[in-house]
Amino acid sequence: MSFERSHEILSGARDEGPSETAIVTVDLDAVAANYRRLRDLAASAECAAVVKADAYGLGMIEVASALWNAGCKTFFVATLDEARGLRTLLPPATIYVLAGLMPGTAELYRADGLRPVLNSADEIREWASFCATSGERLSCAVHIDSGMNRLGLSAEEVDQVATAVDLWPALTLSLVMSHLACSDEPDHPKSDAQRKIFDRLRALLPAAPASLANSAGILLGPDFVYDLVRPGLALYGGHPRRHGENPFQPVVQLKGRILQVRNAAPGETVGYGATRTLREATRVAVVTVGYADGFFRALSVADGEEGFAGYLGPHAAPIVGRVSMDLITLDVSLVPESFARRGAWVELIGPNVPAHALAAHAGTIDYEVLTNLGRRAFRRYIGA
């Protein structure tokens, strides 16, 4: 989405028109409220925000602006391009790039005042060399792998750089961090094991603020909070734990529009592949959302299955047949015609259907639901 288009929506220049087939509504007040709740849970630690992947698919410009106005001053993104775009939007912000230092990119970081998250001994050496050559002690974070075996320095690499006394005077180590693998399961022993490894390895490096907790990590309690927390999913109303109630406000709604309501006889089939055969006379509503809009094909419902249901007002309407690129079909036999009519809107994510519930039906997680919301739907930002 262009900056001009985003500004038009933010300023309320127009609302959806009669030609719109799908609407994604993002509640920026809810984003800000979730940030403040996370900040309170983090107590004395700084609460940063992870806004990678276009703020989890909800719009970097709008979301980062709302977070900044709510008091957030430190942001994490995945790539250097994301960071440079965010720097244009928020010149004073502290911005870390999780992908770290690709060869030859140090000058790009320096030019825009960005901070790489250094994930290997080689990256630390390259950054220190660049700092020494430029005569500037530029800031960076160091990422320790505490047992996830993804990005980060291994224990052997920590030992290597810890004794390389020529490296550290050249740069400014502003953060030492790691990432939890199983924080969405509160009783998983992996989290405590990672915390102990993190404490042991970071003690070998120069003293610096520490960060371990993501959204779910914050909920593990004060032992995991350290000096800075890095929530992502919870900001956007996602459920950071696998079970229990979600303590964060919903942020996103997705609605599709009914194009047609038709009557189908017993024995007829619905959709591609004829995977759903109707056992009785059925009223079917054809709705203008499909997998091109991020509504997963895995939500298809074949014979003998019960799956996801959209809502028309208070009335549930289950999917029948396959999800196609642009369309889904709902059984609206039990929905009053005043709700199930041509042009009416159907709630697919919202108060009745949280993103994590849709994710569970699709066999995935709400991170994937949010980041896959299609861009052809009308985007409406409210609040903030």
pLDDT at res. 15? 60
Residues in the chain: 384
Q: What are phi and psi of 39, to 5 degrees?
A: -60, -40
Is residue 246, in this structure, part of any structural domain at all?
Answer: no
Range of the domain at 270: 252-353
Number of domains in the chain: 2
Percent of the chain with pLDDT strictly greater than 90? 91
Q: Same domain, yes or no, for 125 and 52?
A: yes
pLDDT at res. 8? 38
Is residue 362, in this structure, part of any structural domain at all?
Answer: no
* Of residues 97, 28, 39, the one with CA closest to residue 65: 28
For 100-152, how does the pLDDT look when each residue is reduced to its tens digit (9 = 90+)?
Answer: 999 999 999 999 999 999 999 999 999 999 999 999 999 999 999 999 999 99
d(CA 325, CA 295): 9
- Mean pLDDT, to the nearest integer, of 173-189? 96
CATH assignment of the domain containing 46:
3.20.20.10
Q: Same domain, yes or no, for 258 and 342?
A: yes
Q: Which residue, 236, 267, 288, sits at the end of a domain?
A: 236
d(CA 322, CA 102): 43
Strands (E), 83-129: 94-97, 115-118
Exposure string for 296-309, b = 16+ CB within 10 A, e = fewer: beebbbbeeeeebb
Q: Same domain, yes or no, for 208 and 302?
A: no
Assess whether pLDDT exceeds 50 at residue 349: yes
Q: Same domain, yes or no, for 231 and 258?
A: no
**Distant-in-sequence, close-in-space partners of 287: CB < 8 Å, separation ≥ 6:** 256, 257, 258, 259, 310, 327, 328, 329, 330, 346
**Distant-in-sequence, close-in-space partners of 44: CB < 8 Å, separation ≥ 6:** none
**Distant-in-sequence, close-in-space partners of 151: CB < 8 Å, separation ≥ 6:** 98, 100, 117, 119, 143, 145, 179
Is residue 121, in this structure, part of any structural domain at all?
Answer: yes
* Of residues 259, 253, 279, the one with CA closest to residue 268: 279
d(CA 311, CA 348): 7
d(CA 131, CA 172): 9
58 close to 236: Cβ distance less than 8 angstroms: yes
Count of beta carbons in the 10 Å neighbourhood of residue 234: 26
Q: Same domain, yes or no, for 192 and 269?
A: no
Least confident interval from 93-102, 210-219, 334-343, 367-376:
367-376
For 270-318, how does the pLDDT look when each residue is reduced to its tens digit (9 = 90+)?
Answer: 999 999 999 999 999 999 999 999 999 999 999 999 889 999 999 999 9
Q: Which residue, 180, 212, 236, sits at the end of a domain?
A: 236
Is residue 264, in this structure, part of any structural domain at all?
Answer: yes
User: Global pTM?
Assistant: 0.92
d(CA 300, CA 324): 9
Catalytic annotation, pick one of 56, 73, 272, 291: 272
Q: Same domain, yes or no, for 279 and 308?
A: yes
73 is an active site residue: no
Identify the burial level of 3 via C-beta atoms within 10 angstroms of its C-beta, where 0-12 means exposed, 13-18 middle and 19 or more buried.
exposed
255 is an active site residue: no
For 229-268, how does the pLDDT look when each residue is reduced to its tens digit (9 = 90+)?
Answer: 999 999 999 999 988 889 999 999 999 999 999 999 999 9
Q: Same domain, yes or no, for 198 and 172?
A: yes
Q: Same domain, yes or no, for 42 and 131?
A: yes
Catalytic annotation, pick one of 52, 96, 109, 311: 52
For 13-51, how does the pLDDT look when each residue is reduced to its tens digit (9 = 90+)?
Answer: 346 678 899 999 999 999 999 999 999 999 889 999 999
Q: Same domain, yes or no, for 270 and 152?
A: no
- Residue 326, both tokens: 């642009």
Q: Same domain, yes or no, for 192 and 268?
A: no
Assess whether pLDDT exceeds 90 at residue 375: no
